[in-house]
Amino acid sequence: MHDSTSIGRSDARAPRLLQRWLGLARVDPADRRNASMLQAVLVASALFQPVSLALAWASAIGIDPLAVGMSLVNMVALLVSLALLRHGAFVAAARLFIAVALALLTVSYFHWGLAPQAPQQLLQLVPVLIGGALLSRRAMWTTVAWLVALVAVGGWRDAAVLVHRPDSLLVLCSRMLGSVFGFVLAAFVLDQALTGLRENLALARRRGNELAAARDRLQLEMQEKERQRDQLVHAQKMEGVGRLSSGVAHDFNHLLTLVLGHATRGRTSTTLDDAHDALLDVQSAARRAAAVSRRLLDFGRMEDARPEVFDPAAALAEMRPMLRQLFSARTRLELPPQPSPGLIRFDRAQFELILLGLAANAEYAMPEGGRFTVEVASAGSGMLEISARDDGHGMDAAVRERCLEPFFTTKPSGQGTGLGLAVAASLVQASGGTLVVDSAPGHGTNVRMALPLAASIGSERSLQAT
């Protein structure tokens, strides 16, 4: 693992080191690729000059002083171009290289003609052709036209000597045509290759920009979706608070009656002990009232989800008084005692919100009374299932298909927002679970929620970290 990381970092540093050595920080990214190729051409051409002079010196034909001077000028120009390239001046380096090379070739072809250039013609002309192609398309074809003109000049220079030898003139014409055809063909291939490369690079940049824009839109959509879901959850909480208001008001009336009764008893008491006991009773009732109001405030507060690990069976048992307030006396609430299948990691307030919404739907589906049962059982594979069943009128296929859509409701206007099942499904899916609704007309409704156990979530995270 460490070795692969080190190799990846070395691979990432290599282009940066090359760009730093070349000094191409201010050059366009496309020119950076061309700069590395131009550098190779300049270095190869600079090394060729002394090697060529050494080979000519070692041969028996000797060295022409003009050729030595031209080689020295060319070497100086190559070194200057290389220095410009290292300082980021790619265009200036390419132009200097092409201009000096064409000027020296012009002198060479005018002085010696075409035939003496034949052995080294490719070595002389191909580098300058590559330099023109790297600079621009226009520079490349201008260089080709110049080279064709030089071939014509060199051929004219040789033809002046071979004017009385028709067979040699034919050979010269064939050589000229071959050189011109080779230059034009090489230039055409380079032109098409570089044009395709530039188009692919432009296409890659455009697609990269499109992907970046799509990524930004997706992030905004995800943020908007999270915001809307939080708003839906809060709206469902407010609907739940409204359903609980009557029960809370009843509890407060009862507690206030106790407070007033104990206060009256304390005021009319004749001994200090009786007054003290009455004050203790008042304090106890006030604490119970504070607990009721605090629980209602916690339930209705608009906050981000706060997952915690808890036992759903124990949470259901604690919710029994709250659930009982939602049903009429004709409806039987059943929370059968059973061994806990395990702990879950879920927002406790959202868990209560889901069950309150299911209970409210069940009460609406049983106007003449019935039975509402909530059970918690193990579902295997690190999951547990919470089943909420009622004996109501049930749903037909069309309603069951749309029951999880936000704001879909079968209640009359003003009696429901249609957020209960939609919010429940969203919260359950966000925790890694599933919500399934089984219902049929006349057979009631069974909402089954499968939630991952907290132990299985920890194991999965451990495996992912490994």
What does the pLDDT read at residue 263?
Answer: 79
What does the pLDDT read at residue 334?
Answer: 92
Per-residue pLDDT at 199 exceeds 70: yes
Neighbouring-strand partners of residue 291: none
CATH code: domain of residue 446 = 3.30.565.10
Question: pLDDT class for 322, splitting at 50, 70, 90?
Answer: confident
Per-residue pLDDT at 293 exceeds 70: no
Per-residue pLDDT at 247 exceeds 60: no
Report how far residue 276's alpha carbon sits from residue 287's, in angstroms, rounded to the nearest whole number.
17
Per-residue pLDDT at 42 exceeds 80: yes
Does 72 map to a domain? Answer: yes
Look at the chain and report how many structural domains it folds into. Answer: 2
Using an 8 Å Cβ cutoff, are 102 and 143 in contact? yes
For 412-441, write each residue's pLDDT tens digit.
Answer: 554 544 446 777 787 888 889 999 999 888
Note down the domain range covering 357: 306-465
Name the domain boundary from 161, 182, 214: 161
Report how far residue 409's alpha carbon sits from residue 415's, in angstroms, rounded to the nearest whole number.
9
312 vs 226, which has greater pLDDT? 312
Does 18 map to a domain? Answer: yes
Does 284 map to a domain? Answer: no
DSSP string of 137-179, one letter each residue: HHHHHHHHHHHHHHHHHHHHHHHHHSTT-HHHHHHHHHHHHHH
For 172-192, write each residue's pLDDT tens digit.
Answer: 677 777 777 777 787 787 777
Report how far residue 144's alpha carbon sits from residue 187's, in angstroms, rounded to the nearest whole number.
7
Does 199 map to a domain? Answer: no
Name the domain boundary from 133, 161, 189: 161
DSSP string of 22-63, one letter each residue: HT-TTS-HHHHHHHHHHHHHHHHHHHHHHHHHHHHHHSTT--
Does 219 map to a domain? Answer: no
For 358-409, write each residue's pLDDT tens digit.
Answer: 888 888 889 888 999 999 999 888 899 999 999 998 888 888 888 877 656 6
Question: pLDDT class for 54, splitting at 50, 70, 90?
Answer: confident
Burial of residue 416 (number of CB atoms within 10 Å: 0-12, 13-18, 19+): middle
Does 148 map to a domain? Answer: yes
Tell me how far CA of residue 415 lies from CA of 241, 361, 410, in angstroms: 14, 11, 10
What would the two tokens of residue 35 be? 């700069």
Question: pLDDT class for 93, splitting at 50, 70, 90?
Answer: confident
Per-residue pLDDT at 352 exceeds 90: no
For 328, phi and psi rounded to 5 degrees? -80, 175
Per-residue pLDDT at 466 exceeds 70: no
Per-residue pLDDT at 26 exceeds 60: no
Question: pLDDT class for 168, splitting at 50, 70, 90?
Answer: low
**CA 209, 212, 214, 220 torsion: positive or negative?**
negative
Does 200 map to a domain? Answer: no
Non-local (6+) Cβ contacts of 331 within 8 A are 362, 363, 366, 369, 370, 371, 372
Rg (CA), the chain: 44
Non-local (6+) Cβ contacts of 262 within 8 A are 278, 279, 281, 282, 285
Per-residue pLDDT at 37 exceeds 90: no
For 339-351, write each residue's pLDDT tens digit.
Answer: 888 999 998 877 8
**Mean pLDDT lowest among 38-42, 224-228, 459-463:** 459-463
Does 460 map to a domain? Answer: yes
239 vs 145, which has greater pLDDT? 145
Non-local (6+) Cβ contacts of 119 within 8 A are none
Tell me how far CA of residue 285 lies from CA of 261, 292, 457, in angstroms: 11, 11, 41
What does the pLDDT read at residue 302?
Answer: 46
Using an 8 Å Cβ cutoff, are 154 and 114 in contact? yes
**Mean pLDDT lowest among 169-178, 282-291, 443-452:** 282-291
Name the domain boundary from 99, 129, 161: 161
> Looking up tokens 């007309």, which residue turns up?
441
